[in-house]
Every structure is written in structure tokens, then in C-alpha cells.
Amino acid sequence: MWVYEKKLEYPIKIKNANPRMAKYIITQYGGPDGELGASLRYLSQRFSMPTEEAKAILNDIGTEELAHLELVGSIVSQLTKNIPPKILEEQGLGGYYTDHDHAIYPVSASGVPFSAASIQSKGDSIADLYEDLAAEQKARATYENLIRLCDDPDVIDPLRFLREREVVHFQRFGEALMIVQEKLNKKNFFVNKKIF
């Protein structure tokens, strides 16, 4: 189970509103390579992982992704706080405002609502860990695209933090994959055998 802590994983202190940037950043809330999908992917895959290390890393990274979901939501919320509808519309958020007002809703940058079709939980630890490695790289690339589109240091700073976390998670998943492969390759185990 989980316990909520009344603090963020990393400080978000944005002085200036920027609805245009919010429209892009929300993709890391509910888009195909966003934090919601990441968390659901890892927290779902952990049930079928074969080693202690792999169960733990999926559980703990899946949990950290929930903290990242909160960071992204906080950024979007602060970038759009109290902005009048006409300005939201001018900066590309007219459709979003119509459906969600100033609320935070999981969509991609192009407005597609969150879909579990963007994640997989295959029950095959090798397939799942390779997907996790790819997912971290796709999230890293997305944060880099966002940083290129952004010119506010208050926003770039937490985006850089989130990007760095993707790099660390990739490293940890790579180690978990090696540990699982080593176990699968031991004598008396078939490579495709899922349960030890």
C-alpha cells in the first residue's frame, strides 16, 4: 500500500504563467510516454517478475513515477493558474478549456486522452524489462523535446530533473534484466519457463 507525503519529490516554483508550454508538458501526465503510463506499467508488471531484485525495482520505480506524475501535474497547474479563457484559447488550449476548464486531465500534447493501450504487461519478464528500457528512453526523449521548446528556467529546471530520473531508471532496469537473464540461464531452467 502507499502513504502520501505532503511534499514534492523536487521543488516546483514557477513565477510566470505559460499556457502554451502547459499544453505540451501535459503529455508527460497522460500521454503515451508519460508518468501515469510508466507507473501503471511497472506496478502491473511487478506481479509476474521472477526475482527479488526485479520485483523490488518495478515496485519502487513504479512508486517514484507517481511522485513524477504529481510533479508534472504541479507544473501544468502552476503554468495555467487563473489564466482567462481567451488567453488559454490564444495559446492553443481552447479545446482543453472547453472540456476541462483549469482542471488537470490526463491527455497527450495532441489532446488524445490517456490510454492503457500505450503500455504492456506481458507476463514474460524478458519482454517486460525490454519494454521498460524502451519506455525510459522514450520518456527521456520527450523531456528533451520539451526542454527544447521551453525558455523559462523555472520550468526547464524540473524538466531536467525528470529527464535525469529516466536515465537512472534505464540503468536500474538494465541491471535487473541482467540479473533475470542470469537466473534464466542457470542449469535446469528452461529459458521460457516463467515460474521457478
Is residue 130 a contact residue for other proteins (CB under 8 A)?
no
Among 23, 41, 46, 169, binds other proteins (CB under 8 A): 169
Is residue 8 a contact residue for other proteins (CB under 8 A)?
yes
Q: Quick one: cell of 43? A: 506496478
Nearest approach, Cβ of 68 to other proteins (angstroms)? 11
Among 13, 148, 186, 187, binds other proteins (CB under 8 A): 13
Task: Identify whether the C-beta of residue 129 lies closer than 8 Å to the C-beta of residue 57.
Answer: no
Q: State how far Cα 98 lies from the chain centre.
A: 26
Among 90, 101, 175, 182, binds other proteins (CB under 8 A): 175
Q: Quick one: cell of 195? A: 515460474
d(CA 26, CA 69): 10
Is residue 66 a contact residue for other proteins (CB under 8 A)?
no
Is residue 179 a contact residue for other proteins (CB under 8 A)?
yes
Task: Identify whether the C-beta of residue 44 lies closer than 8 Å to the C-beta of residue 121.
Answer: yes
Is residue 152 a contact residue for other proteins (CB under 8 A)?
no
* Residues at the interface with other proteins (CB under 8 A): 3-15, 52-53, 56-57, 60-61, 64, 70, 73-74, 77-78, 81, 168-169, 172, 175-176, 179
